[in-house]
A and B are shown apart, each in its own frame.
Chain A
Amino acid sequence: GNSVTQMEGPVTLSEEAFLTINCTYTATGYPSLFWYVQYPGEGLQLLLKATKADDKGSNKGFEATYRKETTSFHLEKGSVQVSDSAVYFCALIPTGYSSASKIIFGSGTRLSIRP
């Protein structure tokens, strides 16, 4: 079946450090891949997405590349800020996307940035 596996948190970094949050998936064909961010006390916001192999999604300094060969979609940022502290969810929508498709989330990774 379809699934998403994320690195377990919490991840604690100092400001301006390099960030990587690993995400791998299991799915048939070519799913669409997403990163969502949840700031404290809020709902989820779409951070970035990629819909086909080798696509790179980017937003707010974050990047993730859709790697079909390694079934991965790792989230990276070159220099994190305190304001990036949040929970990050990797997710996929299976191949053959339609409005009836159900998104599958990873368990989330809590990121804390020290000033």
Chain B
Amino acid sequence: SQTIHQWPATLVQPVGSPLSLECTVEGTSNPNLYWYRQAAGRGLQLLFYSVGIGQISSEVPQNLSASRPQDRQFILSSKKLLLSDSGFYLCACVGAHNYGYTFGSGTRLTVV
């Protein structure tokens, strides 16, 4: 079964600083990968998804970007963080023959 590693677990960054969150997947190849954000007390918002290396689709316009440099690596970035970027960021994947998503343990980002 697939496993997602996500780091760091928590992060406090000042406004205007850059961001890089990393997610790696084990136990499957050629997965679809997703970045979600969960604002405090709210549901899940899909930010980006990727069906292959270098292929990124953005769901909502925002201050963030994503990249997939390797098959099982997905990176969420920002050049300059905003206060509104604070939230809980979750990476998820779907393997080739698996119903449902597998989620990472999340990164809690606080922009101050």
Contacts and interface: CB of A to CB of B under 8 A. Distances in A.
B32 A100 contact: yes
Given A100-B51, A107-B42, A51 B95 contact: no
B99 A99 contact: no
Contact of A107 (B43, B46, B100, B102): B43
Interface of B: 4, 6, 31-32, 34, 42-44, 46, 49, 51, 90, 92, 94-106, 108
27 contacts: A32-B99, A34-B100, A41-B106, A42-B105, A42-B106, A43-B103, A44-B44, A44-B90, A44-B101, A44-B103, A46-B101, A51-B99, A89-B43, A93-B99, A93-B100, A99-B51, A99-B94, A100-B32, A100-B51, A102-B34, A102-B46, A102-B49, A103-B101, A105-B43, A107-B42, A107-B43, A108-B44
A42 B103 CA distance: 10
A43 B105 contact: yes
Interface of A: 32, 34, 36, 41-46, 49, 51, 89, 93, 97, 99-103, 105-108
Contacts of B43: 89, 105-108
Contact of B104 (A36, A43, A101): A43
Given A42-B106, A105-B43, A49 B32 contact: no
Nearest to B41: A110
B1 to A, nearest CB: 11
Contacts of A97: 99
Contacts of A107: 42-43
Residue among A41, A49, A89, A97 with the highest chain B CB neighbour number at 10 A: A41
Contacts of B108: 41
Contact of A43 (B49, B99, B106): B106
Given A99-B95, A102-B46, A107-B43, A49 B90 contact: no
Nearest to A51: B99
Contacts of A101: 94
